[in-house]
Amino acid sequence: MPVRYVESSRLPTAWGVFDIHGFEDPDANKEHIVLTMGDVNNGEPLLARIHSECLTGDALFSLRCDCGTQLEAALKAISTEGRGALFYLRQEGRGIGLLNKIKAYKLQDAGADTVEANEQLGFGADMRDYSILSAMLQHLQISRVRLMTNNPRKVAAMEENGVEVVERVALHSHSNPHNEKYLKTKGAKLGHLFT
């Protein structure tokens, strides 16, 4: 069964009032959301972000990654613009799940980088599936975006789902002693662009 729309409501946040749209993926037994602000389908390119769930970074403020700071920066940018969409996909740990991510952390504690850790656990470097965006984009009638991302795979994912990416907007990540190797690995092995 394909991803399907369930319901929408208002969601007041520290960055303003968004609309929250719920979707379910019965095949993967996952639920995803999209936060929108303003008129998202007026034909003008929409400021957008694809954000994969990161419980440790988004909710527990981990310094091992840059996920939480990117999430906050994206919500703030959408609020400042007054119009945009944030796709929050339940694909923890680049698609390997929370408990496997903790196992990967343990391997990283022993010296592996984030890609090596996933591979040592028998996974690919990045297991996320962006085809699930299709139903969300169609439901919200989004066809042109300015995509906030450092990840070229997300630009390709939007285009593969029939959305024109008119601009890639870099999200600046702040390095700290806990995520420095992680950020370097994202650039060197996963092709992330930080400018």
Domain assignment of residue 102, yes or no:
no
The yes-or-no verdict on residue 2 having pLDDT over 90 is: no
Predicted pLDDT of residue 174:
76
Which tens digits make up the pLDDT trace of 124-135?
888 899 999 999
Average pLDDT on 68-93 reads: 96
Is 115 within a domain? Answer: no
pTM: 0.92
Containing structural domain, residue 134? 4-91+128-189
Is 193 a residue whose pLDDT tops 90? no
Q: How many helices (H) and strands (E) does the chain have?
A: 7, 7
- Does the annotation count 4 as an active-site position? no
Residue 109 lies in a domain: no
* 159 is known to lie in a ligand binding site: no
Q: How far from chain centre, in Å, is Cα 104?
A: 19
* Domain count across the chain: 1
Catalytic option among 66, 113, 128, 146: 128
Identify the band that residue 41 occupies on the pLDDT scale cut at 50, 70 and 90: confident
Is the pLDDT at 190 greater than 70, yes or no? no
Does 57 reside within a domain? yes
Residue 181, pLDDT above cutoff 70: no
Mean per-residue pLDDT, 151-157: 91
94 is in an annotated binding site: yes
| Mean of pLDDT values over 136-147 | 95
pLDDT of 70 strictly over 70? yes
Q: Any idea which residue has 């037994």 for tokens?
A: 29
- The rounded distance, in Å, linking the Cα atoms of 46 and 157 is 16
Does the residue 42 lie in any domain? yes
Residue 159 within any structural domain of the chain? yes
CATH of the domain at 76: 3.40.50.10990
Percentage with pLDDT > 70 across the chain:
91
Q: Is 39 a catalytic residue?
A: no
90, 154, 93, 150: which is closest to 123 by C-alpha? 93
What tokens appear for 79 in the block?
């609020």
Q: Is 149 annotated as a binding-site member?
A: yes
Predicted pLDDT of residue 103: 96
Q: 90: annotated binding-site residue?
A: no
Does the structure show a pLDDT above 90 at 39?
yes
175 in a labelled binding site: no
Q: Which of 126, 144, 146, 168 is catalytic?
A: 126
In a domain, 120, yes or no: no
What's the pLDDT at 178? Answer: 76
Residue 55 maps to a domain: yes
Is the pLDDT assigned to residue 194 strictly greater than 80? no
Q: Is 65 annotated as a binding residue?
A: yes
For residue 116, the number of C-alpha atoms closer than 13 Å in the C-beta half-sphere is 12
